[in-house]
Structure 1
């Protein structure tokens, strides 16, 4: 018996058996007749032809000689005919984990089972697989997957050394040494991977970019779209899929992991670790850490700079911190914390979508008259006092704020530490900012009837597909339009 690593798989044995049977029938030999020629019982050959036993090489050679072919032909991975191909595909489908989970007995293939019947059953299996890949997760599964990913990143201090090193190698190979990463350098990085960056006006609305692997093209929105950092980031993310060897996502958790990794790679290229750590170390030495300085030094967005700090401050400067992107209605849209800041969670442990305390700077900053500069604040919480810096912004979907903060003891390294703005939050105690004061409650309870605004997004199904929300029809039509251009 050969070592386990050398044994053929069940499907390989099935294909081998089909090829032996094909050549035997072409020679008009019965099992017993071929068995007599090669020195084994017909029943033993039957087991081999049915893929239930692996023949020794010496027996394979004897069979090949007897049917007038060679061993290489017998062990070919190609089914010998259409019927064999159908039977092998059906066996593959019926041995899949998806089918086994159904608890349905597999169909036994016999001579009386027509090709049309097998093809119809295979069609049902293909549709089952397609629907399974589309319904990639329920909303609850997606939230749990996102929470698990956030917790894993927190345990790793949100630092991925292998991707950091990969990015620095790619930057060096493209000739980037210092300063903001240019579009030209990003183009060179793409060329070194065998891709050309093309800017087009007709990208499907469900996509940010499309990579044509066959023709070596990465399609991006027009370069005239405001915010060039976005185009650099999108191109780098598309390249990251290839560099990191990503395969088609198998579930929503896999999709989220891939998205995190490509975002991380893009951030490493736009704000390279070596230069970024040197900048942050000097700023701490000067007691002048500031998100806006970090942002401007590398030519990225305020959000990108703040999020990049979560990758580097703990791993390299030993400083714990938190990052929040909060929408205009107080909902958490993106979050990272490893400093113990008390944040709202649902029963699954998810923070995204929860409403943060009204006392947090992430919400109170919307009330500021001057929003062009960072807003600094100390906040006393049940977990201690935290200092933070918040910058607000706007987009087509409304306002948002970006907050980076640290525990009180580390505020001494940051610009804005001298602020006198201070708030007290006792959340999750509902009396903090959710429950009306006693007098107001007594006066208005039962005497008001507000008309609630329905948040239609709660009725929206989770995007389907291996790449959630992407319309394959639009993507393939797009590629057809551009294939010969």
Structure 2
């Protein structure tokens, strides 16, 4: 049965147009007027045979009564007000339901509906408070751990899209990415005035994906941005209704882009050969497919358990030791807060992810074994620098799997008893005695701690900037 509220309003509209009372119509169809009142108020679903009798008595067709459109603008407002007041957002306020009486002015009804629309809109905005972000991110990481960080459907989709444009091996070219966009009906357009909070913008009306201009020769990052934008369309994403959904969508588009840049078949063949030669190295995997070290490291975690039979962990850590990204299914004990979140927590000073910052030669990966309460792990770590500071990318495995990796013969070996505070969080007793009470330091405040994400349809993207950008480039 169609929406009962709209049906009720259409019955009332045609009844009043026929100048019949509820009782008069009831007599014509053999139903009490009180029962018709319930139907008109959307509280009772009539039998299809009764709808036919009502239509006959009113001189209209059944289709007239079952039409989806409200019979008038006011009826549309009344229906919308009723729906909005039935929603969880309004119900949570504990306020009484307002029934629009005949004497209620249209302006009053319009204002009420407008207020409800704004209330609903604000409730849907995915405003990421630090607590919400940590909770959603933790749940997503745990879900991906249960899947061994491997998404079969997206693997297949990416491989099909790459094959469709004739790519057979090596680095995915910009031409191939452009052809992939064209297959979806999009043109890739590079502009210098993207909203500062957006990596890309897709104009669905005009079939354009706006990207920044290449900042370095080759512009490898632009391939990934374009593929991520396309992934939203291919995966059927809708506007995120929550921050958790936004994170899930972001993970899926990143996964799709990586699976296109490092297609499953070619990537697994490459890694399987390296394993057979006991010479797996993320830096080789990176160079073979022309990606960043971080992308190659994350892609390795997608494939290692499913196709190479090994458990792994991944870490991106800032030069202050704070975790930016993390994944593990190999038993490594990640640092977590009381909510179970690891992002923003500090890794042990003895882990490769932090030790690597201290070496002078950073052109190749740094290798280290670390003895922990959970066992011994082998890590390969590469460091890099952005405008925000230095960072390290680590991929590691339990000792039993180290035999498959380049650098396994390293003599670098440290012990970590974290999360035991005595491991690395307390200063040396002599230093502490020497300087306690004799020094003062001013902490560096990270601005993002005080700056919430712009609150809009897409978390972190300012709606006003976005729509002004589209107006400039869309021409309407």
- TM-score of the two chains, using structure 2 as the length reference: 0.96
Deviates more, 1:439-448 or 1:473-482: 439-448
* SS of structure 2 residue aligned to 1:54: coil
Q: Is the 8 A contact 1:157 1:315 kept in 2?
A: yes
Q: For each residue in 1:42-63, what CA deviation from the matched residue of structure 2 results, as whole angstroms up to 9, or x when unmatched?
A: 2232222111222222322232
Q: Distance in 2 between matches of 1:178 and 1:144?
A: 39
Q: Is the 8 A contact 1:153 1:159 kept in 2?
A: yes
* 1:14 is aligned to 2:8: no
Match of 2:411 among 409, 417, 420: 420
Q: Distance in 2 between matches of 1:126 and 1:189?
A: 38
Match of 2:202 among 206, 211, 227: 211
- The match for 1:466 is 457
* 1:72 is aligned to 2:63: yes
Q: Is the 8 A contact 2:126 2:243 kept in 1?
A: no
Q: 1:209 to 1:333 in 2, by over 3 A?
A: same
- The match for 1:3 is none
Q: For each residue in 1:315-345, what CA deviation from the matched residue of structure 2 results, as whole angstroms up to 9, or x when unmatched?
A: 1111111111111211111111111223211
- The match for 1:103 is 94
Q: Distance in 2 between matches of 1:36 and 1:348?
A: 65
Q: CA deviation at 1:199?
A: 1.1
Q: For each residue in 1:72-91, what CA deviation from the matched residue of structure 2 results, as whole angstroms up to 9, or x when unmatched?
A: 12111111112101110101
Q: CA deviation at 1:398?
A: 1.1
Match of 1:88 among 75, 79, 84: 79
Q: For each residue in 1:159-196, what CA deviation from the matched residue of structure 2 results, as whole angstroms up to 9, or x when unmatched?
A: 01111011111112222111111111111111111211
- The match for 2:268 is 277
- The match for 1:220 is 211
- The match for 2:338 is 347
* 1:176 is aligned to 2:167: yes
Q: CA deviation at 1:416?
A: 0.7
Q: Distance in 2 between matches of 1:454 and 1:53?
A: 60
Q: Is the 8 A contact 1:136 1:466 kept in 2?
A: no
Q: Is the 8 A contact 2:279 2:404 kept in 1?
A: yes
Root-mean-square deviation (CA), in Å?
1.6
- The match for 1:239 is 230
Q: Distance in 2 between matches of 1:376 and 1:164?
A: 30
Q: CA deviation at 1:379?
A: 1.4
Q: CA deviation at 1:225?
A: 4.7
Q: Is the 8 A contact 2:25 2:33 kept in 1?
A: yes
Q: CA deviation at 1:463?
A: 4.2
Deviates more, 1:397-406 or 1:54-63: 54-63
Q: Distance in 2 between matches of 1:200 and 1:264?
A: 25
Match of 1:326 among 317, 333, 342: 317
Q: Distance in 2 between matches of 1:106 and 1:365?
A: 62
Deviates more, 1:328-337 or 1:454-463: 454-463
Q: Is the 8 A contact 2:457 2:463 kept in 1?
A: no
- The match for 2:396 is 405
Q: CA deviation at 1:224?
A: 4.9
Structure 2 unaligned segments of length 5 or more: list them. Answer: none
- The match for 1:4 is none
- The match for 1:157 is 148
Query: For this pair of structures, how many residues does the alignment match?
Result: 476
Q: For each residue in 1:3-51, what CA deviation from the matched residue of structure 2 results, as whole angstroms up to 9, or x when unmatched?
A: xxxx44xxx1111111111112112222222233333332232222111
Q: CA deviation at 1:226?
A: 5.2
Deviates more, 1:227-236 or 1:39-48: 39-48
Q: For each residue in 1:211-250, what CA deviation from the matched residue of structure 2 results, as whole angstroms up to 9, or x when unmatched?
A: 1112211111113555622111111111111111111111
Q: Is the 8 A contact 1:344 1:354 kept in 2?
A: yes
Q: Is the 8 A contact 1:170 1:189 kept in 2?
A: yes
Q: Distance in 2 between matches of 1:343 and 1:39?
A: 72
Match of 1:196 among 187, 199, 206: 187
Q: Distance in 2 between matches of 1:442 and 1:416?
A: 40
1:474-485 pair list within 5 angstroms: 474-484=465-475
- TM-score of the two chains, using structure 1 as the length reference: 0.95
- The match for 1:39 is 30
- The match for 1:383 is 374
Q: CA deviation at 1:292?
A: 0.7
Structure 1 unaligned segments of length 5 or more: list them. Answer: 1-6
Q: CA deviation at 1:307?
A: 0.5
Q: Is the 8 A contact 2:126 2:458 kept in 1?
A: no
Deviates more, 1:40-49 or 1:420-429: 40-49
Q: CA deviation at 1:462?
A: 4.3
* SS of structure 1 residue aligned to 2:60: coil
